[in-house]
């Protein structure tokens, strides 16, 4: 074989590999480990991260760690919060309690990438009362006053 033949074979293999990657429904997987004693705000931000990963076609594996039998109810509550939050973007396929850990996997749905597609950026949304964006109005920045003082 000549060098040109090797090059052609290599190009064909690369194209086949690229095509199979595009056909794959799941890009990879992400692992998220959280404690059963997680704060509300932290849990909400983790749910947002999981939604982003699902919209990018990643499988998400979540481990909710607990340090005693009293945390089983809290672990179940966290799993239910994830299930309710990601019902449009993904599906929980396995949920198992092992030792003091609750483990479950969330697979992205086929239409998961369309969930966040119609959402505008924070600075694109204008407040109807004063023409400010929601973030600016929430921070009290660039507020208009009736007086010129």
Q: Is the dihedral of CA 109, 125, 49, 27 positive or negative?
A: positive
Span 89-130, pLDDT tens digits:
999 888 898 888 999 999 998 754 444 444 444 444 444 445
Span 21-66, pLDDT tens digits:
666 677 788 999 999 999 999 999 999 999 999 999 899 999 999 8
Domain membership of residue 84 (yes or no) is: yes
Domain membership of residue 8 (yes or no) is: no
* Nearest CA-CA partner of 112 in 45, 67, 55, 61: 55
Adjacent-strand bridge partners of 28: 58
Domain membership of residue 34 (yes or no) is: yes
Domain membership of residue 123 (yes or no) is: no
**What pLDDT is attached to residue 73?**
87
Binned at pLDDT 50, 70 and 90, residue 133 comes out as low
Domain membership of residue 70 (yes or no) is: yes
Domain membership of residue 37 (yes or no) is: yes
Domain membership of residue 36 (yes or no) is: yes
CATH no. for residue 87?
3.30.110.10
Query: CB-based contacts of 42: which residues, under 8 Å, 6+ apart?
Result: 34
Domain membership of residue 89 (yes or no) is: yes
Helices (H) and strands (E) in the chain, counts: 4, 4
Provide the domain count of the chain: 1
Which residues constitute the domain of residue 36?
22-108
Alpha helices, DSSP H, located in 24-87: 40-55, 72-85
Which pTM does this prediction carry? 0.59
Instruction: Give me the half-sphere count of Cα atoms (radius 13 Å) on the Cβ side of residue 24.
Output: 14
Dig out the tokens for 15 from the structure: 């194209």
């Amino acid at each position: 074989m000549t060098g040109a033949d090797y090059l052609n074979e290599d190009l064909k293999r690369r194209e086949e590999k690229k095509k199979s990657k595009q056909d794959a429904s799941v890009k990879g997987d992400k692992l998220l480990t959280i404690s059963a004693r997680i704060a509300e705000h932290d849990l909400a931000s983790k749910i947002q991260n999981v939604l982003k990963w699902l919209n990018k076609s990643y499988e998400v594996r979540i481990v909710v760690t607990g340090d005693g039998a009293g945390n089983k109810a809290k672990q179940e509550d966290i799993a239910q919060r994830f299930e309710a939050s990601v019902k449009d973007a993904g599906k929980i396929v396995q949920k198992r309690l092992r030792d003091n850990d609750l483990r479950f996997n969330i697979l992205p749905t086929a239409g998961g990438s369309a969930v966040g597609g119609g959402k505008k950026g924070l600075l694109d949304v204008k407040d109807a009362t004063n023409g400010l964006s929601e973030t600016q109005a929430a921070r009290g920045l660039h507020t208009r006053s009736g007086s010129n003082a």
